[in-house]
Structure 1
Amino acid sequence: MGLVGQLLTFPLAPLRGTNWVLQQVLETAEREYYDPAPVRAALSELERQLLNGDITEEEFDRREDELLAEFTWRTEQQRRLNS
């Protein structure tokens, strides 16, 4: 962009800056939302509950299936974001 183009679009600089900040916030929020780490922690806690006898084997199986489905979905979404 030449000098004239820069001068003519100078008033739009705050909008470009705001757009960049919003894009960074969105990308960070998506990375955190799709992070599979909380699901891993929930699976560990679920296993601890089973070993302590706090839940039955059937309850463990049901909740484990739900968490594994969530883990798979988050992992796929995170992979999509990184590509």
Structure 2
Amino acid sequence: MSTDAIAIERAALLQERLAALEPSNLQVIDESHMHAGHAGARDGASHFRVIISSPQFAGLNPLARHRLVYDRVHDLIPHPIHALAIETGKP
């Protein structure tokens, strides 16, 4: 499987997992190319940035919002996803 196909598959997996948060905005950005040579990248793991807004974030501080995101994807870290940058917002 090509590197691009793997990245697309992993991004789709993140989108699928985060759909449970009923996001009003969800962007999954592959940033693996910015981490070439990094330990996780050498092992074939990916680096992603997630930008997400959800009604479920209402009344939550940023740490609590990040925890909701991590709860959905924790089993994907450290492999196949080595790093996940999260930007959360309210709808």
**TM-score category of the 2 structures, normalised to the smaller one:** under 0.3
Higher normalized strand content (fraction of residues) = 2
TM-score, length-scaled by structure 2: 0.26
| Max Rg structure | 1
